[in-house]
Structure 1
Amino acid sequence: MKRMTRTLQKTASLLAGCLMVLTVPNSGMAKEPLRICAEPDNLPFSNEKGEGFENKIAAVLAKDLGMTLEYTFLRERKGFLRQTLNANRCDVVIGVPSQLERVRKTQAYYRSSYAIVTRKDRHLDLKSYDDPAWAVLKIGLHTIGDDGSNSPPAHVLGHHHWGANVMGYPMWGAEDEKDPQGDVVRAVAEKKIDAAIVWGPFAGYFAQPYGQSLVVRPAPADPELPDQPMAWDIAMAVRKDDEVLQGKLNQSLERQSKKIQQILKDYHVPFEPVKVAHQPAPSTPVKP
């Protein structure tokens, strides 16, 4: 159970430093703000320039709800939720695993998985972690923390005795380093490693510039380690006591599901649509 909790927390840190607030200007009469917690430099998810797919989704929801956007940016590290959402500095985190505890979640609005990135000319078809082909591969993974909590791919590869083949790539580089999250995918393209197993949105986004020379496939789950899932339903998070905002977001997600799916496609996020159930109006009156 502790391993699953650490995995959820670490996956949440994948999906989303100096704290700063940015208000996105909007003309007209003053409107209620939709206050978003996000990372300032974590493409394809978000950045300060509003270039990530979570930035775009937040803009769609704010427009639908008749609200303005206001951002609190914090680099994803230990205590992200404690220092942002649960400190009342903002009200919404756009992407978290739907199983994440300590917050109230909306309905899931997409499902993604870890992905295996290889070069097309290698003709690798890695469908099982027992495949002997792993024995001769250099495998890139993101290193995501110093708290002893490894990602599901790291656990699975270690369980099957391929740990010696793993090369770690930092999720976060120096402040002036551009998109270090993509280094592991670029290493595959540049033949520095043979394969990478990374969270699907990273895989699809950073593989796209290489066209058909890279292959991105879903990483299979390992039946021997059911507590290390490779696929996750992704939802939005609000504070535990904010049922009203949860209800507003659920209704907006239902209305804007097609636009959100198109945004995910535009960013080459490998995803499965999650059927959005019709949401009743919240019990507390809500201002648009």
Structure 2
Amino acid sequence: MHRRSWRTAIVACGLLCLSGAFGVPAWAGPPEITERGQLRVCADGNNLPFSNRDGEGFENRIADMMAEELDVPVTYVWAPQIMGFVRNTLDLGVCDVIIGVAAGYELVRNTNAYYRSVYSLIVPEDSDLDVSSLHDPALADLRLGAITDTPPVVPLRSAGASVKTYALQADTRVVSPVRNAVQDVADGVTQGAVLWGPIAGYYASRQDPPLRVLPLVGDTPGAHLQFRITMGVRRGEPRWMDWINDFIDRRQADIDAVLADYGVPLVDRHGQLIPVDSNEQGD
């Protein structure tokens, strides 16, 4: 997750572009495609729980749902989600949608949000920790992991925790910092790790024994830990964006069920945790 890449576009919204100044159109690209023979998805081929080449991520499953409605096959353009991902995929016109992008990420046009999640603390199952805020005094003097430059790092240090950081941008074909962070909790190297909710929920549930997930839905001054996740499309494709927005609206319950299968902690528009069996939408 990082403010300079779209996946960690888990950051504040950027400035809006002035689209109508001096009568210059906001988009000078080719005409919008109106008929699609395939659903072309830009994705990372080794980035669970989001996507992988074997179709095991929740974004893969959502793409399958979209393709089924369009009655076309899914094809992928694979690229590691590091600096230049959007430029080398969506912007080149070789694929047409990124399934997961933080709302406000300025390099794409955002659809409506299809879920909201929150950074979460993962701890061993037998840990006495029970916190919902990084401002909690119980975190003082603990050894906790976090991905460098992500929102939890500064408040963790302010709380008095000793923070072990893991690389932010990495070629997922070679290394997985988030898996390393989770494994360190399981091995006792750290006493916990604060990770983006979908990552925390997925990997915590796959440890043996499973780790406990504490969604950080409490007030944490100075930290933005909750984010709305959209799909990203190119500017100048209003029909395509409208179709995706309609898909999200109609299939929200099915999308929520997929996210629940992957242990994604969902929050509502008021920032409150949505129980797993709730039918309330995340947008």
- What TM-score do you get using the length of structure 2 for normalisation? 0.78
Tell me how far 1:229 sits from its aligned partner.
1.2
Q: Please state if 1:252 is matched with 2:257.
A: no
Match of 1:82 in 2: 87
Match of 2:107 in 1: 102
Aligned-pair identity (%): 36
Q: Name the one with the larger helix percent.
A: 1
Cα distance in structure 2, aligned partners of 1:275 and 1:262? 11
> Which whole-Å deviations, capped at 9, do the CAs of 1:221-242 have from their partners, x for residues lacking one?
65531xx410111110100111
Indicate conservation of the 8 Å contact 2:147/2:166, yes or no: yes
Match of 1:155 in 2: 154
Match of 1:175 in 2: 173
Q: Within 5 Å, which residues of 2 pair with 1:3-152?
A: 6=3, 9=6, 11-12=8-9, 32-143=37-148, 150-152=149-151
Indicate conservation of the 8 Å contact 1:118/1:214, yes or no: yes
What SS is found at the alignment partner of 2:259? helix
Match of 2:257 in 1: 262
For structure 2, the residue ranges without an aligned partner over 5 or more in a row are 12-34, 269-279
Cα distance in structure 2, aligned partners of 1:224 and 1:130? 7
Cα distance in structure 2, aligned partners of 1:268 and 1:95? 16
Q: Which amino acid is the alignment partner of residue 187 of structure 1?
A: D
Indicate conservation of the 8 Å contact 1:221/1:230, yes or no: no
What SS is found at the alignment partner of 2:206? helix
> Which whole-Å deviations, capped at 9, do the CAs of 1:129-175 have from their partners, x for residues lacking one?
343332221111124xxxxxx110113224x1636x11123364673
Q: Once structures 1 and 2 are overlaid, which stretch shifts more, 257-266 or 42-51? A: 257-266
Indicate conservation of the 8 Å contact 1:65/1:252, yes or no: no
> Which whole-Å deviations, capped at 9, do the CAs of 1:82-133 have from their partners, x for residues lacking one?
1111121211000011121232111111111110111232211233434333
For structure 1, the residue ranges without an aligned partner over 5 or more in a row are 15-29, 144-149, 278-288
Q: Are the structure 2 counterparts of residues 111 and 186 from structure 1 closer, same or farther at C-alpha, using a change threshold of 3 Å?
A: same
Q: Are the structure 2 counterparts of residues 245 and 209 from structure 1 closer, same or farther at C-alpha, using a change threshold of 3 Å?
A: same
Match of 1:204 in 2: 201
Tell me how far 1:189 sits from its aligned partner.
1.8
Q: Are the structure 2 counterparts of residues 174 and 242 from structure 1 closer, same or farther at C-alpha, using a change threshold of 3 Å?
A: closer
Q: Which amino acid is the alignment partner of residue 151 of structure 1?
A: T
- What TM-score do you get using the length of structure 1 for normalisation? 0.76
Q: Once structures 1 and 2 are overlaid, which stretch shifts more, 260-269 or 129-138? A: 129-138
Q: Within 5 Å, which residues of 2 pair with 1:225-236?
A: 225=222, 228-236=223-231
Tell me how far 1:180 sits from its aligned partner.
4.7
Match of 1:284 in 2: none
Cα distance in structure 2, aligned partners of 1:195 and 1:125? 12
> Which whole-Å deviations, capped at 9, do the CAs of 1:208-259 have from their partners, x for residues lacking one?
124775220112465531xx41011111010011111101111122222222
Q: Which amino acid is the alignment partner of residue 183 of structure 1?
A: N
Q: Which amino acid is the alignment partner of residue 139 of structure 1?
A: L
Indicate conservation of the 8 Å contact 1:115/1:199, yes or no: yes
Cα distance in structure 2, aligned partners of 1:184 and 1:276? 27
Match of 1:23 in 2: none
Cα distance in structure 1, aligned partners of 2:194 and 2:117? 13
Q: Are the structure 2 counterparts of residues 66 and 212 from structure 1 closer, same or farther at C-alpha, using a change threshold of 3 Å?
A: same
Cα distance in structure 2, aligned partners of 1:111 and 1:176? 29
Alpha-carbon RMSD? 2.8
Cα distance in structure 2, aligned partners of 1:100 and 1:118? 31
Match of 2:215 in 1: 218
Match of 1:17 in 2: none
Match of 1:193 in 2: 190
Q: Which amino acid is the alignment partner of residue 141 of structure 2?
A: V
Residue correspondences, number: 247
